[in-house]
Structure 1
């Protein structure tokens, strides 16, 4: 018997739908996952089998094949565990196959069947919403992040058993808490208040001009004169982020896995302060599984390069495209990924 479920994945900072087909046929018991899975996803076989057994359900018999489509895009991470488990349960109708097709399922399964949060949930939900899905089964640990999206139904789950109960009509939809229409935050409290600085009139004036016009800035002065202190106060005098800007920053932080314990919207303009020994990949982004780098994490905020001459020439050269175009393009065998990188560059150096 064939069953189908739906999940979501990321390409760059955009989410897209992943169809999950599960098929059972006669033969020697086996379980395979195809569709360009990475190692973490390949290990889902053991996690899903244990989670189904330990949740009190029957694991389907026979030769099991799970296909992730589109098959030409590499899938990564454990976020497909829940959807794979539900597709397997639908094979022998332990859950309704028809009900399952109306949901996007996301979450990592522990061996006892409990659900764990996943990174990158916000862009995946936005991509699924744009594709026409409105109902989502997600881990409870991701609910603050997911509740930023309007016009969707969220079911916050603690376990695989909760997901099965929801599909049977016994789940409770998440009631979203009210959110103020404007982002209320205090960047000065987060990064330091420029009003606390005594003296330094010329430097403070330079910061004000840079903040007003979106200019890049270079501080030149002896050690200990306050270059870093002044740079840290630039985000506090920048205009407040709009809701769309805050959502863009939150998406990037979600993908990078640095959103924080509350997993809510990022309300404060970023201030990134990489060390001069940083590698190209850490600065620009990339890696085997492409992730945003420091320049994308500084999107809509400030990137501060202390002791600029200590950075290698090649590292400084990679800033050319982001500074000119506001994006960074990463080419890998699996495809090209574009990340936003619209930031103000502040650098410092000794005379």
Structure 2
């Protein structure tokens, strides 16, 4: 007899059905797993052997063959432990095979019989639900699986699961859970001065635009970036599911709880290309995907390796990143808001002759040349952050803080949601083609100004459209139905003046 248990394989954010087939036959005492297993799957036999021993069972002295079908699909990860163990128990007659027929299973087995958490439970639950199956998963991830709406058996250990399947014990159905907000963003009221930078931050939040802040050390660039999550609107239920799916496959969901706060990722400038855009031997999602629908903050931008930064050019344009390997091709979502900060030169004091190094201004050209023109062209807002004086710091806190700015941002986002709802677009930063032309065509004075600026500033086609997107956001913040000359003028003021030499 061949016992069969359903499970899944993960290819990016796609879960594919895998049929775990277990056969016990005469002909020796060998335990073999076939079907392109990786090292973690091949080692499953030892974990299964120890787990059965922990609950008082022993493997039969016969030839055990486990086939993971389809055999040409690579199998990676420890989540195959539980379905292999269940298939083996069914083949031994310990578990009724009919009791497992309506379920898929994922979970890693500890040596003492506990079912340990694994990445991708949310994806597995959604896949099981779409195939009219239930899901057997680790107890700590039951809340994660419950969001799929399928029947979930969240087992703390293998023995409890077996007792439930036999009807001698009842596992409590898990309830869908949401993670609490633990990150507290600084309030914009804590930022003294920097009115231009705060205005640019509000525009970036309202339209989902990329922002680059340049200024000397200690001017408040990092503080402004850290304050951005405090003025962004919360994720919608659909967006929360998208973000949680990426975190689930990366194994980053805390306690199996759905994420409701927008991601804020701030990798160190020593990050590799695989860490930033994804990859490695198992093509895991990188920082740009973990920041999906949130903020990717790159501090000390020129300190990143140039090829690492240039690898962001495609994700910033398309909103997704494709990772190609010889045996694997996966695509992850990467619709992020890039917020970057940099010093004008290596010493950071280019504008202050008393503090600037002896190589100024040549050091600024050398330092900024690490950033490619195509990458800078993808950044909508460029802002010079001036140093804050002691007199500014002695002033009382500004009357307007994050709450007031967040209200304006939410109102602007609501306009964009209504405008683009039928087109699958969330913000002005995503609008393109005819959709952008219909939404952001300026009045005649604005059109004339834009044409003159495009010629004098030598705007690329990408730069031209990004000016229109920012202008549309400015109009939304002002509650204007159409884009006017004043909106075009302010949008142009945030474009990079000249190419980096």
Give the alignment's TM-score, normalised by structure 2.
Answer: 0.66
1:296–1:341 contact (8 Å) kept in structure 2: yes
Name the counterpart of 2:241.
247
Aligned-residue offset at 1:169: 2.7
Does structure 1 residue 341 correspond to structure 2 residue 334?
yes
Name the counterpart of 2:34.
34
Q: Unaligned stretches of 5+ in structure 2?
A: 345-501
Corresponding residue to 1:160 among 158, 161, 170: 158
Name the counterpart of 1:224.
218
2:160–2:171 contact (8 Å) kept in structure 1: no
Name the counterpart of 1:125.
125
Q: How many Å separate the matches in 1 of 2:185 and 2:79?
A: 34
Q: How many Å separate the matches in 1 of 2:207 and 2:180?
A: 22
Aligned-residue offset at 1:177: 3.9
Q: How many Å separate the matches in 1 of 2:325 and 2:127?
A: 22
Q: How many Å separate the matches in 2 of 1:94 and 1:186?
A: 44
Once the two structures are overlaid, the 10-residue window that deviates more, 38-47 or 304-313, is: 304-313
Of structures 1 and 2, the one scoring higher in RCO (CA 8 A, sep 6+) is 1
1:10–1:120 contact (8 Å) kept in structure 2: yes
Q: How many Å separate the matches in 1 of 2:247 and 2:277?
A: 15
Aligned-residue offset at 1:324: 0.7
Cα gap change, 1:57/1:173 in structure 2, threshold over 3 Å: closer, same or farther? same
1:24–1:61 contact (8 Å) kept in structure 2: no
Q: How many Å separate the matches in 1 of 2:179 and 2:202?
A: 22
Q: How many Å separate the matches in 2 of 1:168 and 1:321?
A: 53
Corresponding residue to 1:278 among 271, 278, 284: 271
Name the counterpart of 1:148.
147
Number of aligned residues: 344
Cα gap change, 1:251/1:27 in structure 2, threshold over 3 Å: closer, same or farther? same
Name the counterpart of 1:136.
135
Name the counterpart of 2:205.
211
Cα gap change, 1:113/1:178 in structure 2, threshold over 3 Å: closer, same or farther? closer
Q: Which has the larger radius of gyration?
A: 2
Name the counterpart of 1:303.
296
Cα gap change, 1:282/1:186 in structure 2, threshold over 3 Å: closer, same or farther? closer
Cα gap change, 1:157/1:196 in structure 2, threshold over 3 Å: closer, same or farther? same
| Post-superposition CA distance 1:52-102 (Å, at most 9, x none) | 122123423311100011212111111111111111111131111122221
Aligned with 1:24: secondary structure? strand
| Post-superposition CA distance 1:209-261 (Å, at most 9, x none) | 1111111111011000000100111122122211111111111112222222x
Give the alignment's TM-score, normalised by structure 1.
Answer: 0.93
Cα gap change, 1:106/1:220 in structure 2, threshold over 3 Å: closer, same or farther? same
Name the counterpart of 1:113.
113
More helix by share: 2
| Post-superposition CA distance 1:4-40 (Å, at most 9, x none) | 1111221101222211000111111111001111101
Aligned with 2:95: secondary structure? coil
User: What are the within-5 Å matches in structure 2 for residues 318-337 of structure 1?
Assistant: 318-337=311-330
Q: Unaligned stretches of 5+ in structure 1?
A: none
Once the two structures are overlaid, the 10-residue window that deviates more, 10-19 or 170-179, is: 170-179
Cα gap change, 1:21/1:268 in structure 2, threshold over 3 Å: closer, same or farther? same
Aligned with 1:287: secondary structure? coil
Aligned-residue offset at 1:274: 1.2
1:54–1:113 contact (8 Å) kept in structure 2: yes
1:154–1:174 contact (8 Å) kept in structure 2: no
Once the two structures are overlaid, the 10-residue window that deviates more, 156-165 or 320-329, is: 156-165
Corresponding residue to 2:190 among 196, 212, 215: 196
Once the two structures are overlaid, the 10-residue window that deviates more, 93-102 or 337-346, is: 93-102
C-alpha root-mean-square deviation of aligned residues, in Å? Answer: 1.8
1:327–1:338 contact (8 Å) kept in structure 2: yes
Name the counterpart of 1:317.
310
| Post-superposition CA distance 1:181-221 (Å, at most 9, x none) | xx89769x622222332322111111111111111111011
